[in-house]
Amino acid sequence: MKKILMTLAALLCCWVTTTVFTACGDDDDNTPRADDTKPAKIAMVFHFLNTPEMVENFNIEYSFSNGLDVNKTVTLNDVTLEADKSFKVTLAANLPCTLKFSRKVTLKNSITEMPTFSYTEKISCIYGLYNAAGKQVFTSATIDTGASSSLNGEKVTKLVEAGRLDYEHVYTFDANGNQLE
């Protein structure tokens, strides 16, 4: 009789164990949720302004990097310019990240005889933060940098030759999408 009770107890124990472990199975769905507010990605749109004199007299090269898989360079010949001679480029990355771009300006020809030359170092950008499902969770205000100026052609030639119209901007974001200094 003792042997039968022990066998029943062992079977009962096996049945309870099987039921408990089956009930504790992984039922988590790892697909990202659209209502998640935690930022996972960033997309930054750069708006580059150019004057008609710049387009006509400068070779301008823009380089972009997201620190991972994007390293590209474009010139004004590679992009479609708007009526105001501007164009936009979007750069995206997973957080945390560092996004950067630079501008290199060279002269097509000497512009010393031009009495007034308008140029700009102005760019603006806006960025959005997206959750893992790709839903936007935050949009920043526009960040404007640089200024526009007018000088005579000789002074602009000297600025270009000295590299004074070249620049690089770096934007670093932490895992929560906060911009770091």
Q: Output the CA–CA distances (angstroms, integers) from residue 60 to 49, 101, 167, in the order listed.
A: 12, 13, 11
CB 105, CB 76: distance < 8 Å:
no
Number of domains in the chain: 1
Per-residue pLDDT band for 154 (boundaries 50, 70, 90) equals confident
Is residue 101 packed enough to be buried (19+ CB in 10 Å), middle (13-18) or exposed (0-12)? buried
Long-range contacts of 29-32 (CB under 8 A, 24+ apart): 31/133, 32/131, 32/132, 32/133, 32/134
Residue 17 pLDDT > 60: no
Most confidently modeled range among 92-96, 116-120, 137-141, 152-156: 92-96
CB 128, CB 77: distance < 8 Å:
no
Domain extent for 54: 41-180
β-strand pairing of 97-107 with 148-151: unpaired
Per-residue pLDDT band for 139 (boundaries 50, 70, 90) equals confident
What does pLDDT average to over the chain?
A: 82
Residue 167, domain member (yes or no): yes
User: Of 152, 55, 151, which is closest to residue 105 (Cα–Cα)?
Assistant: 55
Instruction: Determine the Cα–Cα distance for residues 29 and 159; give it in Å rounded to an integer.
Output: 58
Higher pLDDT, 159 or 5: 159
Residue 59, domain member (yes or no): yes
> Region 141-163: what's the mean pLDDT?
85
Residue 3, domain member (yes or no): no
Residue 23, domain member (yes or no): no
> Region 34-40: what's the mean pLDDT?
83
CB 158, CB 111: distance < 8 Å:
no
pLDDT in tens, 44-90: 998 998 889 888 888 999 999 987 778 889 998 888 999 988 999 99
Predicted local distance difference test score (pLDDT) of residue 12: 52
Termini Cα distance of the chain: 79
Residue 97 pLDDT > 80: yes
Residue 32, domain member (yes or no): no
Residue 72, domain member (yes or no): yes
Question: Which residues, listed in sequence order, are joined to residue 59 by a DSSP beta bridge?
Answer: 106
The tokens for 130 are 């997206």
